[in-house]
């Protein structure tokens, strides 16, 4: 990566500003999944061990008005992080002002402070989300000229807490998590070891048009599953019953198939049901066509076998989007089958592009078998699409 990293700067005695992604799920004030906190630990620990004073920034949820603040304080995160680090995490509970500044000034080498939810600044004019110039300058002024961006999940957004701070410090560098995300995803797409197979699922073609187009240029094969299968089917005149379809994207689907030169591989059967919920019948289709009154909710056994064959010998695999409604045990065989086919390839570099795919791997007990699971769904999608991420672009060149 041609950007400076946290290892390229002297941290001893410095107030180091750090953008982390602590946008964790909370229920009744309790964190239900702390993966994002754990993912940030290597960078935070490194700063502490180097004698830096870590000042952490993160958003939590969306905040548009005062009432939205309820239940979105980072206080539970501060407590969880304290336990993980084995030391107190100072939490003033504010995003700016004398109380925050005094707490930062009182920090000693190796201490950690967490600023309150950066999105609280969105209540008065979306200052965080619209990269307010004054806010970026203010937050930058709280440190000693070093900013570490370790929040890949927001790297595709130009906010005051990433791009705004970067523009007002001497050095803006990547943390270990951000560095790894770029190394795995961007390098997999740009300089893959071949054969390179991309697998795309999910419900909508519209969400993945740019990704499919980019990967058709980069990958040796692009496998399609999930709900968007049926838009591709209908574009070819195949019966899809009551399956999900984007009528306004049929021409796009047809164009993608025509210019794919055979790289685009579709399922050849489905697991169909007579309703999405409260169904009374589930069965495998004989071929591509979905029965009248039924809808496809997963790829079928013939498709799993076809995809397994397509993955044979793959050295780089990028997967984004489940093959079906994996949350329901009746429709998770396709996603499980594809995951198992990926990880059994000898020497494969296997990458999950965040979002539902990451949730599927974690929930279905296969996360540890993959080379890398991205922490950012939207950001990883934009990298796969070949876009420049503002949060990454704003970092200091080596």
Backbone dihedral angles phi then psi of residue 170, each to the nearest 5 degrees: -70, -45
Contact 200, 209 (CB under 8 A): no
Task: Identify the active-site residue in 204, 254, 302, 315.
Answer: 204
> Considering just the CA atoms, what is the radius of gyration of the chain in Å?
23
CA distance 55 to 107: 9
Tokens of 236: 């070819």
Which pair of structure tokens corresponds to residue 85?
Answer: 């680090």
**Which entry of 226, 355, 376, 377 is annotated as an active-site residue?**
355
The SS3 assignment for 198 reads strand
Joined tokens for residue 333: 């065989």
Q: Peptide bond before 195: cis, by omega within 30 degrees of 0?
A: yes
Q: What is the dihedral of CA 319, 323, 328, 333, to 10 degrees?
A: -100
Sequence-separated (6 or more) residues with CB below 8 Å from residue 272: 241, 282, 283, 284, 285, 290, 291, 294, 295, 296, 297
Q: Catalytic: which of 61, 93, 145, 378? A: 378
As a whole number of angstroms, the distance between CA 49 and CA 6 comes to 12
Catalytic annotation present for 36? yes
Say whether 19 is catalytic: no
Catalytic residue among 14, 36, 208, 234: 36
Going edge to edge, which strands form the sheet with 295-299? Answer: 282-284, 270-273, 295-299
Where helices occur in the chain by DSSP H, the ranges are 35-49, 75-85, 98-105, 133-141, 165-166, 176-181, 187-190, 209-218, 229-235, 250-259, 301-310, 333-343, 355-363, 377-384, 390-393
Q: For residues 188 and 194, give the distance between their C-alpha atoms in angstroms, rounded to a whole number.
A: 10
Task: Report the SS3 class of residue 153.
Answer: helix
Q: How far apart are CA 366 and CA 184, in angstroms?
A: 18
What does each C-alpha distance from 278 to 206, 281, 301, 354 come to in angstroms?
28, 9, 23, 30
Q: Which residues are catalytic, by number? A: 36, 204, 355, 378
């Amino acid at each position: 990566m041609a950007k400076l990293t946290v290892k390229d700067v002297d941290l001893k005695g410095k107030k180091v500003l750090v953008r982390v992604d602590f946008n964790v799920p909370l229920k009744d004030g309790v964190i239900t999944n702390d993966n994002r906190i754990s993912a940030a630990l290597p960078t935070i620990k490194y700063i502490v061990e180097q004698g830096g004073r870590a000042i952490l920034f993160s958003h939590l949820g969306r905040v548009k008005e005062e009432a939205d603040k309820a239940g979105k304080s980072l206080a539970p995160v501060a407590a969880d992080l304290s336990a993980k680090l084995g030391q107190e995490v100072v939490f003033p509970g504010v995003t700016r002002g004398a109380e925050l500044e005094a707490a930062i000034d009182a920090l000693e080498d190796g201490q950690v402070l967490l600023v309150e939810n950066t999105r609280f600044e969105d209540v008065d004019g979306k200052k965080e989300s619209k990269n307010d110039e004054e806010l970026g300058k203010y937050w930058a002024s709280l440190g000693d000229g070093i900013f570490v961006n370790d929040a890949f999940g927001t790297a595709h957004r130009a906010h005051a807490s990433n791009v705004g701070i970067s523009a007002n410090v001497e050095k803006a560098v990547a943390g270990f998590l951000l560095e790894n995300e770029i190394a795995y995803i961007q390098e997999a797409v740009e300089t893959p070891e071949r054969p390179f197979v991309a697998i795309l699922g999910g419900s909508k073609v519209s969400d993945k048009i740019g990704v499919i187009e980019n990967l058709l240029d980069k990958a040796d094969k692009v496998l399609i599953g999930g709900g968007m299968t049926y838009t591709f089917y209908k574009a070819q005149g195949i019966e899809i019953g009551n399956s999900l379809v984007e009528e306004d994207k049929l021409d796009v689907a047809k164009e993608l198939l025509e210019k794919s030169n055979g790289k685009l591989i579709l399922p050849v059967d489905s697991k169909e049901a007579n309703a999405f919920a409260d169904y009374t019948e589930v069965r495998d289709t004989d071929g591509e066509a979905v029965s009248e009154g039924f809808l496809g909710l997963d790829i079928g056994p013939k498709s799993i076998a076809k995809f397994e064959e397509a993955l044979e010998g793959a050295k780089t695999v990028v997967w984004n989007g489940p093959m079906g409604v994996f949350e329901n045990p009746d429709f998770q065989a396709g996603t499980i089958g594809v995951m198992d086919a990926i990880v059994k390839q000898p020497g494969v570099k296997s990458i999950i592009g965040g979002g539902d795919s990451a949730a599927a791997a974690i929930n279905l007990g296969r996360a540890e078998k993959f080379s890398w699971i991205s922490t950012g769904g939207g950001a990883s999608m934009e990298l796969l699409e070949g876009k420049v991420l503002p949060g990454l672009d704003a970092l200091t060149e080596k």
